[in-house]
Amino acid sequence: MTSSIFARAIVVVAWCALSASAMAEDRPIDRDWHTGVIVAPGAKTWTADNYEQKQGLINETATARGKTCTNYAFIGWPSAAGDIQEILATTRKNYETEGWSVTQTQGDIATDTIWTVRRGDREAVILWGGVMGSTIYLSCLTAGSPASDPIQTLFVGILLPIGLGCLGAGLWLIRRQRAYGAVSVVGVVLAGVGAAALTAIAVLVLFVA
């Protein structure tokens, strides 16, 4: 309990002192990138500072419920985005619309709300809190694998046919020109573009969370 209060104090101080600069480094987000569920409008990632303290706080929340965290998502809403209850209600509606069950309990502090959400084999623990009119959302998966990123899926869907098409056309031109004892510059360029597109797909799939 003491460590939880200490971790929370660090997070609160960080939010108060660094919210302007830290949120400037973060980016707008429309969903929890591990559950894949759309959250209330006006959200930003909240990962630019004190990541380990936030991680420790949600770890303790999950452990107290007999669960173990794997993947983490930290999101924040400035006060201008609306009241915490409005943000919470909108986000809960989105979870339930997408088929998630939401079990809500009171946290150790009166302003905290804890959700355990589940759909199929995927489960997450979410800690909601309010700091000086702003809303914070700390979540971690406790079962199942992260949802696929829709933007990443879109890029892969665009790059895959481009990569395969350019590579195939380039290799065909190279072989065709080689039969005449010449080098196809266009074929080399197309093959290079295709290889680059396929390399980009590999990077997205293997290294981009």
Q: What is the pTM of this model?
A: 0.65
Which residue, of 125, 143, 161, is where some domain finishes?
Answer: 143
pLDDT for position 14: 44
Let me know whether 106 and 191 are in one domain: no
Tell me the CATH number at 25: 3.30.310
Let me know whether 47 and 130 are in one domain: yes
Residue 128: closest CA among 140, 141, 138, 142: 138
Structure token pair of residue 106:
């009171």
Residue 135: closest CA among 54, 80, 53, 57: 80
Let me know whether 18 and 96 are in one domain: yes
Residue 35: closest CA among 95, 89, 90, 75: 95
CB 68 within 8 A of CB 82: no
pLDDT in tens, the chain (209 residues): 544 544 444 444 444 433 444 444 778 888 898 899 999 999 998 887 788 899 999 999 999 999 999 989 999 999 899 999 999 999 999 999 999 999 999 887 878 999 999 999 999 999 999 878 889 999 999 997 766 555 555 555 666 677 677 677 767 777 777 777 766 667 677 667 767 766 765 665 555 44
What is the bridge-based pairing of β-strands 72-77 and 101-106? unpaired
pLDDT for position 138: 95
pLDDT for position 163: 66
Let me know whether 137 and 163 are in one domain: no
Q: How many domains does the chain have?
A: 2
pLDDT for position 147: 60
pLDDT for position 116: 96
Let me know whether 139 and 49 are in one domain: yes
Phi/psi of residue 45, nearest 5 degrees:
-60, 150
DSSP-derived letter for residue 48 is: S
pLDDT for position 7: 46
Phi/psi of residue 107, nearest 5 degrees:
-80, -175
Q: Residue 186's domain spans which residues?
A: 150-207
CB 76 within 8 A of CB 26: yes
